[in-house]
Amino acid sequence: TKYQFIDVKKEEKVSIITMNRPKASNALCDRLIHEIVTQLKKCDRNPETNAIVLTGLHKVFAAGADVKEMEPRTFQGNFSTNFSSEWDEIAKTRKPLIAAVNGFALGGGCEIAMMCDIIIAGENSKFGHPEIKLGTFSGAGGTQRLTRAVGKAKAMEMLLTGELISAREAWQSGLVSRIVPDHDVVDIAIKIAAKIAANSQPMAMMAKECINQAYESTLQEGLEFERRMFQSTFAFYDREEGMKSFINKRDPEFKDA
């Protein structure tokens, strides 16, 4: 596939997608979103990919939806094309997906970071939802995912003022899993992805499904879902290998099967 706005590379079982539209601060035009979604679907289909890192440029992860492309839109057009629905395909990725954020993650940029499973933040990164200053508000999960991530008061403050928060505030409020030096963000994200990739691929995918279920159901329903999924792990070679290797005091050799 020929991409215009993303670069892709592979380090063993980790696929790395870099948003690369420097002239527009990685503004997320339709084409850039489509390229990300296309590549994520490819990663899901590729048995040799166990985890994925999504990153941007040094100064900006992504500055949000492309305001110049968006400005002439109409409600009728948004409705008939179901504008922003393709964005949600990012959240449907089945393999573990890590956002490596340097610089600004604003509006839709923050929203796609929140569609990832883990966010690693550079010490100078900034997160925010400035859409309110454009006379609109977040439209790709910001009002929902930010509220679940940081709680109501902070989400209200961020979404209604449009002010940005620092990496430290993002970490304190649980939006990101860790803060690392800016120049190490991508390397550390790849290292974490490699740790995940060294485990059994179907187990990591199932665990991700169970964790996401925590947002979709009551506690009892979630626990039932988890229990059935856990029971099903006993159908896998990797479960037997994992337990046998522990008992025999050796490293496991998973087959992702």
Based on the shown chain and the rule CB under 6 A, indicate whether residue 107 belongs to the binding site for ligand HXC: yes
Based on the shown chain and the rule CB under 6 A, indicate whether residue 140 belongs to the binding site for ligand HXC: yes
With CB under 6 A, what is the number of residues at the site for ligand HXC? Answer: 22
Stretch 13-52: interaction string toward ligand HXC, x if CB under 6 A: -----------xx-x-------------------------
Candidates 126-134, 196-204, 228-236, 238-246; binding stretch for ligand HXC (CB under 6 A): 126-134
The residues annotated as belonging to the active site are 65, 108, 111, 131
Based on the shown chain and the rule CB under 6 A, indicate whether residue 73 belongs to the binding site for ligand HXC: no
3-class SS string, the chain: CCCCCEEEEEECCEEEEEECCHHHCCCECHHHHHHHHHHHHHHHHCCCCCEEEEECCCCEEECCECHHHHCCCCHHHHHHHCCCCHHHHHHHCCCCEEEEECCEEECHHHHHHHHCCEEEEECCCEEECHHHHHCCCCCCCHHHHHHHHHCHHHHHHHHHHCCCEEHHHHHHCCCCCEEECHHHHHHHHHHHHHHHHHCCHHHHHHHHHHHHHCCCCCHHHHHHHHHHHHHHHHHCHHHHHHHHHHHCCCCCCCCCC
Based on the shown chain and the rule CB under 6 A, indicate whether residue 158 belongs to the binding site for ligand HXC: no
Cβ-based nearer residue to ligand HXC, 96 or 130 = 130
Based on the shown chain and the rule CB under 6 A, indicate whether residue 141 belongs to the binding site for ligand HXC: no
Candidates 64-72, 168-176, 177-185, 191-199; binding stretch for ligand HXC (CB under 6 A): 64-72
Cβ–Cβ < 8 Å for 108, 78: no
Based on the shown chain and the rule CB under 6 A, indicate whether residue 203 belongs to the binding site for ligand HXC: no
Q: Which of 7, 22, 3 is nearest to 53 (CA)?
A: 7
Cβ-based nearer residue to ligand HXC, 14 or 140 = 140
Residue choice 18, 20, 38, 84 for contact with ligand HXC (CB under 6 A): 84
Based on the shown chain and the rule CB under 6 A, indicate whether residue 66 belongs to the binding site for ligand HXC: yes
Based on the shown chain and the rule CB under 6 A, indicate whether residue 89 belongs to the binding site for ligand HXC: no
Binding site for ligand HXC (CB under 6 A): 24-25, 27, 60, 63-68, 84, 87, 104, 106-108, 130-131, 134, 138-140
